[in-house]
């Protein structure tokens, strides 16, 4: 019995046909894959950009909700760069900002008005008064964890099992039966990460309180909903209780809104009136241009200043060199191009009207998926987080990262992803999650649903498919 109720043998026969279909219809992608094998490690510019099978899909161009590959095939894109292009590919105001700023200086290591305006807009949107910029969400998380340690004088970080916060060492762990372990597949670590990170299950207040009660946790770093592997939504009151508990035990609360920006123009923080000490967000925040930001309360800003002045040595460095010696910052963070795009995206792209269209697309998608699964007799669940819609091969929505993992059936996920891709619909290669941008309208949603309907019909018609 598999999680999905569909037999592995049928999935393998179905996937084999799709792999052949991909190979037959993507000669240009295959030629590039062959060239790439000689010059790019693993045949792709970075590990995440290789499609699982049978070869990477090479892209020619992308615009709004659509993408064209080097073989000339057009795709409706519900992956949207796994959220980096949540507002569609090359939104017109961001493309204009890129062209304008492209000719006016890219990186001066000096601020301009765009950074100030962007911070003002971020403050209005997320309700946190003070901001800093970083080059990626991973970096933003890394810096905030360092601030949290400096402020609290504590070393340990708390995360939820199944979390993903980018390439931040401290978060590359998982929980098993109350223990914290290194994530499988992790390589090149010099430190034992479990010394300074603790993991508890999401939606488990007792475990959270027990971890915090040890009194050594600098911060709880979490997404408001787990968005990796499966979509795990917080139970009623869980995040409010988590806030209460972190306060009670002297730990900070850092909300990573990089993926939950799908919830609304101010992320879950605004939509659910959450009260983080720090908030980090990257990926789509500058419309797909490399940029991330972190915001914090006035109390944190004061505590950060105190932390910088704390040690005599640090104070001397501060007087001599300014803030640059805190070890925070990277050369290209807050570059002029990123700041111009961040401002344009906040001012002109991430509007309430755009979110209305995104949320309505995702709601239609969720309703359609529920009907589709019921019609095929599949006991699968569908959840949404604003413009993000996820389906799980399980009869009830997962409550924890562990449950989400148990409901994963990678062979089925990949086979369906390939089937859809072969017919012009892209979904994420990493999880059963679909994102709606402002241009993912009803016809796009209908095309996805009818293609998936056809695929499930073909798969379930195979002898022995149901188990």
C-alpha to C-alpha distance for 162 and 172, rounded to whole angstroms = 10
Instruction: Name which of 141 and 297 has its Cβ closer to ligand PMP.
Output: 141
Query: Of these, 166, 201, 421, 438, which contacts ligand PMP (CB under 6 A)?
Result: 166
Give CA–CA dist 220/239, Å, rounded.
Answer: 11
- Please give the order of strands across the beta sheet that includes 74-77: 59-63, 66-69, 74-77, 425-426
Nearer to ligand PMP, 91 or 455 (CB): 91
Per DSSP (E only), the strands in 70-216 are: 74-77, 130-134, 156-160, 173-176, 179-182, 197-200
Greatest alpha-carbon pair distance for the chain in Å reads 75
Judged by CB under 6 A, which of 66, 149, 154, 164 binds ligand PMP?
A: 164
Q: Which of residues 9-28 bind ligand PMP (CB under 6 A)?
A: none
Q: To the nearest 10°, the Cα dihedral for 285, 289, 290, 296?
A: -20
Q: Per CB under 6 A, does 94 bind ligand PMP? A: no
Min separation Cβ 174 and ligand PMP, Å:
16
Q: Which is nearer to ligand PMP, 216 or 223 (CB)?
A: 223
Instruction: Return the axis-axis angle of helices 298-310 and 312-321, rounded to nearest 10°.
Output: 100
Please select the residue that binds ligand PMP; options are 66, 73, 174, 283, rule is CB under 6 A.
283
3-state helix, strand, coil in the chain (%, to 5): 50, 15, 35
Q: Which segment (18-26, 38-46, 91-99, 158-166) binds ligand PMP by CB under 6 A?
A: 158-166
Question: Based on CB atoms, which residue is closest to ligand PMP, 196 or 283?
Answer: 283
Contact positions with ligand PMP (CB under 6 A) in 237-276: 256, 258-259
Please return the burial class of 109, using the count of CB atoms within 10 Å of its CB with bins 0-12, 13-18 and 19+. Answer: exposed
**Region binding ligand PMP by CB under 6 A among candidate stretches 106-114, 132-140, 299-307, 459-467:** 132-140
Q: Does 223 bind ligand PMP (CB under 6 A)?
A: yes
- 3-state class (DSSP) for residue 198: strand
Q: How far is the CB of 205 from ligand PMP (least distance, A)?
A: 22
Tokens standing for residue 370: 């529920």
Residue 10 CA to residue 382 CA, distance in Å, equals 23
Nearest-5° Cα angle at 27, 23 to 33: 85
Which C-beta is closer to ligand PMP: that of 161 or that of 256?
256
C-beta separation of 5 from 379 below 8 A: yes
**Binder to ligand PMP among 65, 128, 133, 137 (CB under 6 A)?**
137
CB 358 to ligand PMP: min, Å: 18
- Which helix or strand (DSSP H or E) is residue 388 part of? strand 388-392
Q: Considering the complex, what minimum distance in angstroms separates the CB of residue 228 from ligand PMP?
A: 6
Backbone angles phi, psi at 277, to 5 degrees: -80, -40
Q: Is 388 in the site for ligand PMP (CB under 6 A)?
A: no
Q: Is 171 in the site for ligand PMP (CB under 6 A)?
A: no
Piece in contact with ligand PMP (CB under 6 A), picked from 104-112, 133-141, 307-315, 364-372: 133-141
| 249 versus 431: smaller Cβ distance to ligand PMP | 431
Residue recorded with tokens 């600098």: 218
Comparing CB distances to ligand PMP, the nearer of 197 and 258 is 258
Cα separations in angstroms, 151 against 139, 219, 252, 269, 350:
18, 10, 9, 22, 33
- 162 belongs to the binding site for ligand PMP (CB under 6 A): no
For residue 146, the minimal CB distance to ligand PMP (Å) is: 16
The binder of ligand PMP chosen from 224, 266, 282, 401 (CB under 6 A): 282
DSSP, collapsed to helix, strand or coil, labels residue 170 as helix
Chain residue whose CB lies nearest ligand PMP:
166
CB of 337 to ligand PMP, least distance (A): 17
**289, 292, 274: which is closest to 222 by C-alpha?**
274
Give the binding-site size for ligand PMP (rule: CB under 6 A).
13
Note the residues at the interface with ligand PMP (CB under 6 A): 136-138, 141, 164-166, 223, 256, 258-259, 282-283
């Amino acid at each position: 019995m598999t999680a999905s109720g569909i037999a592995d043998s049928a999935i393998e026969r179905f996937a084999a046909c799709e792999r052949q279909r991909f190979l037959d219809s993507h000669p240009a992608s295959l030629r590039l894959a062959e060239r790439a094998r000689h010059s790019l490690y693993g045949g792709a510019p970075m590990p995440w950009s290789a499609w699982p099978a049978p070869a990477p899909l090479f892209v020619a161009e992308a615009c709004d909700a659509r993408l064209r590959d080097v073989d000339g095939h057009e795709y409706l894109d519900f992956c949207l760069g796994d959220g980096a292009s949540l507002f569609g590919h090359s939104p017109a105001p961001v493309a204009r900002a890129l062209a304008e700023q492209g000719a006016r200086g890219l990186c001066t290591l000096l601020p301009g008005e765009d950074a100030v305006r962007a911070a003002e807009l971020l403050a209005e949107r997320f309700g946190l008064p003070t901001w800093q910029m970083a080059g990626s969400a991973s970096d933003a998380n890394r810096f905030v964890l360092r601030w949290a340690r400096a402020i609290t004088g504590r070393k340990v970080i708390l995360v939820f099992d199944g979390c993903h916060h980018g390439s931040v060492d401290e978060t590359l762990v998982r929980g098993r039966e109350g223990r914290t372990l290194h994530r499988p597949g992790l390589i090149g670590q010099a430190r034992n990460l479990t010394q300074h990170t603790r993991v508890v299950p999401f939606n488990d207040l007792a475990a959270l309180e027990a971890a915090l009660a040890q009194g050594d946790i600098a911060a709880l770093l979490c997404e408001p909903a787990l968005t990796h592997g499966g979509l795990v939504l917080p139970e009623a009151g869980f995040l409010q209780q988590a806030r209460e508990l972190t306060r009670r035990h002297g730990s900070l609360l850092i909300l990573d809104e990089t993926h939950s920006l799908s919830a609304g123009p101010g992320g879950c923080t605004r939509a659910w009136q959450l009260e983080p000490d720090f908030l980090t967000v990257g990926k789509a925040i500058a419309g797909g241009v490399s940029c991330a930001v972190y915001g914090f309360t006035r109390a944190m800003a004061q505590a950060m200043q105190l932390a910088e002045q704390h040690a005599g040595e640090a104070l001397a460095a501060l007087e001599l060199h300014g803030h640059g010696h805190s070890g925070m910052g990277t050369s290209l963070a807050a570059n002029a191009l990123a700041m111009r795009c961040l401002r344009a995206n906040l001012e002109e792209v991430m509007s309430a009207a755009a979110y209305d269209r995104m949320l309505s697309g995702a709601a239609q998608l969720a309703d359609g998926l529920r009907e589709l699964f019921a019609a095929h007799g599949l006991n699968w669940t569908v959840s949404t987080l604003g413009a993000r819609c996820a389906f799980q091969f399980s009869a009830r929505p997962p409550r924890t990262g562990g449950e989400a993992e148990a409901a994963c059936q990678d062979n089925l996920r990949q086979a369906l992803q390939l089937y859809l891709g072969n017919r012009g619909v892209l979904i994420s290669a990493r999880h059963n999650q679909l994102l709606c941008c402002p241009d993912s309208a009803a016809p796009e949603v209908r095309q996805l649903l009818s293609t998936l309907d056809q695929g499930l019909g073909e798969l379930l018609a195979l002898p022995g498919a149901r188990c």
